[in-house]
Amino acid sequence: MNRSGSPLPLARRLVAAFAVVAALVAGLFTLQTAAGPREAEAASAVGGPITRAEIIARAKYWYDRGDTWYSQDQADAISDGTGGKYRPDCSGLVAMAWHLPKKSDGWDLNTDDFESYAHKSWVDLDDLLPGDALLRNGHIELFEKWVNPGDHRDGAWVYSENDYGQKTNHNINPWSEMETYRGIRYDKIVEGSPVSDGGADFDGNGVGDIYATGDGSLTIWNGKGSNNFASPQVVGGGWSEFGRPAVGDFNKDGKSDLAAVKSGALHVWNGRGGNGFGAAQVIGNGWGGFSAPIAGDFNGDGVSDLASVKDGTLYVWNGKGSNNFGAAQVIGGGWSPFGAPIAGDFNNDGKSDLAAVKDGSTLHIWNGRGGNEFGAAQVIGSGWGDYDSTLMSLGDINKDGHTDIASVKEGTGTLYVWNGEGGNKFATATAIGNGWSTYF
């Protein structure tokens, strides 16, 4: 308890300009695994907007350190892994996870401060989402997720700092204990994450949307949560000559944009919210021969990047904002046996990962490390042959804080969803409905 508390250059010019940064191992590109928790640049700024995924990743960093011994003394502040330091008590943990600024006296917020904090709102316990917090007299804990999203009375996973002689805890808080708290929410949490989670949120409601252009028109199904979607909305035609669009935040305004290739030229449509878009902007040529681009934040700077495969080699173009991208970087070869990759945050560490199906059968995931680096491929499971061609990342469509994926099964036209569970794990496929082949 405590009260202290530039336009893209032609792709053919790029290969000679950059060295391959990943080695080929068994036909896959892999990188050495670093020991212990990895420090990285923060996607958020101190006191600025922050995603739920980053909040949880920051808390997990402290837990993984293994040396965050409880103290109410600000002089014992511990690194947050991104250049800051926070006091290792209960309120310091939440201040660290939310990436809050210090008070005027140089101390982190205490529990009394959270009670009256101007940038928080009270929420019902049943409405808690990953990255919210539980506050009561003299103590605060960080809410991670429900043990059972279908029955909150089974309790919740929380991160906490509790007492001297203890380190950061990660445990289940039973419902009977939770009822002694009130829920609070930081008002600078960005509900949707078009940068790192690979999904689309065109209407800005914090739930992933589905989109398709397979019939020549852009059609959007807005997510409503719990794997439910609104009726299709046809946004506009003229998409027949474009490849499947990527979704990201290319101008860094917090809205989901589209990027697609036509006749070797990359175009971007900036989102305006409410399923609206600005006029197409031609970004650059030289995209012929590349797979349809995907978007993610592969270097961890908070701006959407693009990635694509050509002749079995993966390339990344880092976003600079304002629809500008850096020169292509060669990430690694060995991609010929794989279908087109998708991007998302599949292990909930706030970094963009890649997933792809090999030989029309087995799903693999490469976890992002930031800096355009990825860990070794992990085999997730087989039986993906009927789903490879339309595999897509949806963001979070059931509002549990995890990236979900979907695909239309070949030969049936049925859309299936695999809800993410974190740690590169997915729940059993859920059939959403039939009649989707026309759109994909």
Domain 210-434, CATH number (from 3.60.40.10, 3.40.30.10, 3.50.50.60, 2.115.10.10): 2.115.10.10
Owner of token pair 């995924």: 53
Which of the four pLDDT bands, split at 50, 70 and 90, describes residue 95? very high
C-alpha dihedral (200, 59, 305, 36), degrees to nearest 10: -140
422, containing H or E segment: strand 420-422
- Residue-wise burial string across 178-193, b where 16 or more C-beta atoms lie within 10 A, e elsewhere: beebebbbbeebbebb
Q: Which two tokens stand for residue 128?
A: 């808690």
Residues of the chain with pLDDT > 90, as a percent, come to 72
* CA distances in angstroms from 372 to 20, 37, 86, 92, 287, listed in the order given: 12, 18, 28, 31, 20
Per-residue pLDDT tens over the stretch 352-400: 999 999 999 999 999 999 899 999 999 999 999 999 999 999 988 987 7
- Transcribe 5-27 into DSSP letters: --PPPPGGGTGGGS---SEEETT
- Does the pLDDT at position 347 exceed 90? no
Q: What is the CATH number of domain 52-184?
A: 3.90.1720.10
Predicted pLDDT of residue 22: 36
Strands 189-190 and 50-51: parallel
What pLDDT does 197 receive?
A: 63
Q: What CA dihedral angle connects 36, 341, 307 and 208, to 10 degrees?
A: -90
Flag whether the pTM goes above 0.75: no
- Over 60: is that where the pLDDT of 41 sits? no
CB-CB contact of 203 with 273 (8 Å): yes
pLDDT digits (tens, 9 = 90+) for 119-171: 999 999 998 988 999 999 999 999 998 888 778 999 999 999 999 999 999 99
Mean pLDDT, the chain, integer:
88
- DSSP for residue 412: T
Main-chain phi, psi angles of 75, to 5 degrees: -65, -15
pLDDT in tens, 253-270: 778 999 999 999 999 999
Q: How do the domains of the chain map onto residue ranges? A: 52-184, 210-434
Is residue 387 classed exposed, middle or buried when 0-12, 13-18 and 19+ CB atoms within 10 A define those classes? Answer: buried
What span, in angstroms and rounded, lies between the C-alpha atoms of 227 and 239? 27
Question: Residue 23: pLDDT above 50?
Answer: no
